């Protein structure tokens, strides 16, 4: 597999104009609503990682972001495939955080062949790896999509650059441990932060 340059663009606040820099990467990874595709974050998107369960997924199913899908190479649903029996139960008791909306989300993707899912074991393996770095602040459910995306591209030998990671949000992601892990990757030379010092302010 050819080594590619990959920008993993987190949903944290970015106040610099990185639009021209974004286009220089072979692949650009975005998440969920893709930070709304504001002009200063560019338009390129080759890989889209999406929540398929819960409130965020419901919003995606009802109001999918509009963007040019010509360059889209992969769409990854970050929750494992749903169990039909459990889904019926969750819908009956209106357990909103557990309801899967993947079918409605996939309808918005023109090329269905580029859609894949993360499996339980992949998420579990990376959570176990993170827990080796210390005790989390809260009982974790799984790593964040951002951490999993970075790992995914590193495992395939690509050069990964990141921006827009604030290490905060849903308390069931082990943010402090994720920050440690990414710092390790940076120190090892596997990941680099996008240099924002030379970027113009918005």
Query: Contact, 34 vs 63, CB < 8 A?
Result: no
What Rg do the C-alpha atoms of the chain give, in angstroms? 17
Query: In the structure, what pLDDT confidence band is assigned to residue 93 with cuts at 50, 70 and 90?
Result: confident
As a whole number, mean pLDDT of residues 80-106 equals 88
As a whole number, mean pLDDT of residues 170-180 equals 95
Q: What are phi and psi of 151, to 5 degrees?
A: -60, -40
pTM: 0.93
Q: With a cut of 70, say whether residue 49 has pLDDT above it.
A: yes
Gap between the Cα atoms of 14 and 168, Å rounded: 14
Percentage of the chain lying above the pLDDT 70 cut: 97
Q: With a cut of 70, say whether residue 202 has pLDDT above it.
A: no
Q: How far separated are the first and last CA of the chain, in Å rounded?
A: 37
As a whole number, mean pLDDT of residues 157-185 equals 95
Q: State the DSSP string of 47-72.
A: EEEE--BSHHHHHHHHSPPP---TT-
Q: With a cut of 80, say whether residue 37 has pLDDT above it.
A: no
pLDDT of residue 89: 82
Q: If you average pLDDT over every residue of the chain, what do you get?
A: 92
What the chain holds in terms of domains, given with CATH numbers, is 5-193 (3.90.1480.20)
pLDDT digits (tens, 9 = 90+) for 138-167: 999 999 999 999 999 999 999 999 999 999
As a whole number, mean pLDDT of residues 116-126 equals 96
Percentage of the chain lying above the pLDDT 90 cut: 73
Q: With a cut of 90, say whether residue 197 has pLDDT above it.
A: no
pLDDT of residue 35: 62
Gap between the Cα atoms of 118 and 31, Å rounded: 14
Q: Give the chain's length.
A: 202
Beta pairing, strands 115-117 & 74-77: parallel
Q: What are phi and psi of 161, to 5 degrees?
A: -115, 145
pLDDT of residue 72: 95
């Amino acid at each position: 597999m050819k080594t590619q340059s990959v920008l993993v663009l987190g949903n944290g606040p970015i106040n610099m104009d990185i639009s021209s820099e974004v286009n220089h990467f072979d692949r650009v990874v975005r998440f969920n609503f893709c930070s709304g595709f504001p002009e200063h974050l560019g338009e390129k998107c080759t890989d889209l990682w999406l929540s398929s369960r819960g409130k965020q997924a419901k919003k995606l199913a009802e109001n999918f972001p509009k963007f040019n899908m010509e360059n889209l190479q992969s769409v990854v649903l970050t929750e494992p495939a749903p169990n039909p029996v459990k889904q019926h139960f969750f819908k009956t008791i209106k357990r909103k955080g557990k309801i899967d909306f993947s079918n409605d989300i996939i309808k918005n993707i023109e090329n269905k062949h580029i859609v894949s899912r993360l499996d339980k074991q992949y998420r579990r393996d990376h959570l176990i790896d993170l827990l080796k770095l210390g005790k989390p602040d809260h009982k974790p459910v799984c790593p964040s999509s951002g951490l999993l995306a970075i790992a995914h591209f590193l495992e395939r030998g690509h050069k990964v650059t990141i921006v827009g990671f604030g290490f905060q949000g849903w308390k069931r992601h082990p943010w402090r441990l994720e920050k440690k892990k990414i710092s390790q990757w940076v120190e090892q030379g596997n990941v680099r932060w996008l240099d924002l010092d030379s970027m113009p302010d918005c």
